[in-house]
Amino acid sequence: MAENINVSVVGASGYSGAELLKILNRHRHVKVGTLFANTSAGKRVDEVFPHFKSVFRQTLEPYSAEAASSSDVVFIALPSGEAMNIVPDLLAKGKKVIDLGGDFRLKDIALYETFYKRQHHAKEAVQQAVFGLPEWNREAIKSATLIANPGCYPTSAIIPLAPVLKEGLIEEHGISISSLSGVSGAGRSSNTELSFAETNESVKAYKVGTHQHIPEIRSSLESITGKAIGLTFVPHLLPITRGIYTSIYASLKRKIVQADVLAAYQKYYSKEPFVRVSDTLIPEIKHVNHTNFIDIGFRVYPDNNQLIVFSTIDNLIKGAAGQAVQNMNLMFGLEETEGLI
């Protein structure tokens, strides 16, 4: 077991990068090394994030493979499309890499290029990547050198759907997923559509039918269940900073009651440190924000032959930085909850 892990963060000036720094700072087995940024390069971390005053004194540097090569593991918290340009070199240098973006989540390159609307330039690395969902890929994560950290929306959908699909409680087709996210999910870059004046007192759907997380949700569920999955996914923007609320609607395969659904979740998640399931309470964003937990609730409607499942996560933690550290802990043989509880 590694006792002193040297860590670098590429994209340390973004929202997910900042959450990574918070978690890594309290991690007993981590030494935070070089921190990289693009537009904020040359500034000190506590200039960009004043709450890090007297905590981090490093100056953010422009990325260089040479500087990153002194680390045992490199977190990449960059917009999708950028990690593919630096990951192959890091892997060639023998580094472990955890990418918080979308470049290595889809094994099907054609799907990636269709939904992300760009060419992929690191196709060999894609086949090496392990999808970093600990609840379902724990053993593969332990021996991985490249982790494709799941997206925030997919995390909120895959974890609640997988058990009821595996146990044959719901139909594999006709699944509807409606997710609402805080504006931090779009990153820290300036965007008029995400400004206070545009988002306050409003809710809107976006990227309907074209969102890049659609194939990620589908392909992951198909990998877990071994069955073809048919679903619709509609994301919405909420006028809040952080958090995701996901509602899932599915048709039942047979007559069931609440206890049957609870048994399915207990079968797969009773020992999972970050999955909390209730058959009575409906989850709320405020109970998971600033944590690595996912809360799941559900209701069976036998008269309508329907199951409705609700989940909540913090998009920046369980949906990004927290799950990334959870993956790092597994890769280095550490307690999975280290730094996260």
Q: How many alpha carbons fall within 13 Å on the CB side of residue 260?
A: 18
Options 90, 152, 158, 180, the catalytic residue: 152
Supply 272's token pair.
């999972």
- Say whether 230 is catalytic: no
**Catalytic residue numbers?**
152
